[in-house]
Structure 1
Amino acid sequence: MDPSRTLVLNTIIKEKAVFTLFQPIYDLAKRQILGFEALSRGMSGSLLESPDKLFAIASKQERLSELEIICREAAIKQFVSLNLPGKLFLNVSPKALLDPSHPKGETRHLTEVYGLDPKRVVIEVTEQDKVDDANLLLTTITHYRELGFQIAIDDLGAGYSGLRKWSELCPDYVKVDRYFIDHCDQSVVKREFLKSIIELAKATSTQVIAEGIERMEELKLIEQLGIVNAQGFLLAKPTRKPPTELALLKSLHSEVRSSVNQFEQSMAIGWLAKEANAIHECTQCIDAHRLFEQDRKLTSLAVVNDAREPVGLLHRDQLTEVFAAPYGHALFDKKSVIKLMDKQPLVVDEQQELDTVSKQITDHEFDIRRHIIITRDGRYLGLAPLRDILKHITEEKIRHAQHANPLTMLPGNVAINEAIEQRLRSHHDFSLAYIDLNHFKQFNDLYGYASGDSVIKLLAEVTVDVCAQSSSFVGHIGGDDFMVVFDNNDAEVLCHEIITQFELKSKAFFTPEHVSAGGYWATNREGQKQFVPLLTLSIGLVRPDLQHCINSHQVAALATDAKKEAKRYRNSYLFVCNRRKPTVSTVRLENAG
Structure 2
Amino acid sequence: MSSAALSSSPASPIATGSRPGDEAPPLTVRRLMDRRQLRTVFQPIVQLDCGLVYGHEALVRGPIGSPLEYPDMLFAAGRREGLNTELEVHCALLAMAEWSRLKLPGRLLLNMSATALASAVAQGLEQDRLFICEDLGICASQLMIELTEHERVADIEGLRRAIGVLRRKGVGIALDDFGDGRSSLRLWSEIQPDVVKIDKYFTHDLPAHAEKLQTFRALLQLAETFGAQLVAEGIENAEELRVLRDLGVAFGQGWLIGRPTPDGAREPLAGAREVLASSEIAVLPELRRASSNGVTAERLMMEAVTVHEDTTHEQLFRVFNEHEELHAIAVLNSRQEPVALVDRAQFINRWAKPFFMDLYGRHACTLFANPTPLIVNADTGIEALTTVLTSADQRYLREGFIIVREGRYLGLGTGEQLVRSVTEARIEAARHANPLTFLPGNIPISQHIGRLLTSGREFVAAYADLNHFKPFNDEYGYWRGDEMIRLVARVASNHCDSQRDFLGHVGGDDFVMLFQSADWEQRCEQIVQGFNELARNLFDAAALQAGGIMAEDRHGDMRFHPCTTLSIGAVRVSPGSLHRAEEVASAAATAKRHAKHEALSVYVMAL
> TM-score if structure 1 supplies the norm length?
0.48
Larger Rg, first or second structure (1 or 2)? 2
